[in-house]
Amino acid sequence: MADAVGPDRRAPLVWDTRKTTPGLRGLEKAAVRAGGGANHRGNLSDWVMLKDNHLALVDVADAVRRARQLWPGRTVHVECDELSQVAAAVEAGADAILLDNMAVDDVLEAVAMARGMAGRPPLLEVSGGITLETIGRYAPTGVDCISVGSITNSAAVLDIGLDIDAQ
């Protein structure tokens, strides 16, 4: 995945997700770093992640404000699957925005919007359905990172056996 992004691996970074094989998180995250990627949050408590289920009950601004009250100092990350949510998250002062399951053209528009708004732009992450075949299309969009769950939660295992020869 890191090679498919291109030779300039500073941006966007290929990120793993917190979704790992039980008991193997440390090894899988080390493998991502060894392969040229970077580690996202290690578990649910590292960042405050406001996902679509949360935002179904409260608007983005209220969710960001409440997250900052409850967990001061934590990164507030807002999942957006529509451009209107991106604008709301930037206006609310989100630290990071996850552009979830967006087409490349929508990601380009979201990046331009977020970078063009007043204030410090948030970290922009794209995720959702990214494959080895599609990652190269997202790399030049201007996002800071591309998260790919399959590099940990769907990695193939190596079947190793040890046979003892009695002779």
Is 29 catalytic? The answer is no
Considering the candidates 2, 9, 19, 41, report the single residue annotated as catalytic: 19
Query: What 3-state class would DSSP assign to 96?
Result: strand
The residue among 121, 76, 122, 127 whose CA lies nearest residue 98 is 127
Query: What 3-state class would DSSP assign to 131?
Result: coil
Backbone φ and ψ for 124, nearest 5 degrees, come out as -115, 125
CA distance 8 to 11: 7
Tell me how many degrees the CA angle 83-77-130 measures, rounded to the nearest 5.
65
Residues with active-site annotation = 19
